[in-house]
Amino acid sequence: MRGVLDANRLADHQASNLRRTMGEMIIDGSEATLRLDGEGRLFIRKHGEVGEAEVKFRWHDNAFGGDCVFNLCEHVARHMMDGTPLENEASDYLAVQAVERACYLSAERRGWADVTACF
């Protein structure tokens, strides 16, 4: 699998609140393209189709980043106080760190980097 990450959270993008999503995102997959706009809306377009459909999901735009910081703190506090299960564990983040290391390695080499070698 190949991946390209071209990111700049300070780049200009269209949004009523530039800090809501910190930019726009497009993910091209083997069967569809997923797009996040600056308003936090998600869209999918299956390959070979002309139009895209909005993917509806529930979220609250109460504060920074669509309120992601509040939601995480509330989720962890509930776990610690009530024992509710966590959605993920710290170990789940290791894959994210491996991708990050591969990005830096790729930039350093000015070429491809194998993510599996970065675990």
Number of domains comprising the chain: 2
pLDDT value of position 60: 73
Contact between 20 and 68 (Cβ < 8 Å): no
Condensed to tens digits (0 to 9), the pLDDT of residues 38-67 reads: 888 999 999 999 999 999 988 777 766 667
| Same domain? 69 vs 36 | no
The residue range of the domain holding 8 is 1-57
| pLDDT over threshold 90, residue 81 | yes
Q: The whole model's pTM is what?
A: 0.59
- Domain boundary (16, 37, 57) is at 57
pLDDT value of position 52: 96
Kindly tell me the burial class for residue 44, based on how many C-beta atoms sit within 10 Å of its own C-beta (0-12, 13-18, 19 or more). Answer: middle
| Same domain? 53 vs 17 | yes
Contact between 88 and 96 (Cβ < 8 Å): no
Please report the sign of the dihedral spanned by the C-alpha atoms of residue 25, residue 101, residue 96, residue 98. positive
